[in-house]
Amino acid sequence: MDSKQLTPQLHVASQITKEDIPAIAAQGFKVILNNRPDGEGEDQPLAADIEAEAKAHGIQYIYQPVVGTEITDENVENFGATIAANEGPIFAHCRTGTRCTILWMLSQAKNQSADELLATAAKAGYSLEQVRGRLEGLYEK
Distances (CA, A) of 72 to 16, 96, 101: 24, 19, 14
Count of CB atoms situated within 10 Å of the CB of 111 = 11
pLDDT in tens, 52-88: 999 999 999 999 999 988 999 999 999 999 999 998 8
**Can you give the residue range of the structural domain that contains 60?**
4-138
Total structural domains within the chain: 1
Write the CATH number for 95: 3.90.190.10
With a CB cutoff of 8 Å and minimum separation 6, the contacts of 106 are: 71, 76, 79, 131, 134, 135, 138
Q: Is the dihedral of CA 45, 48, 53, 57 positive or negative?
A: positive
Query: What is the model's pTM?
Result: 0.95
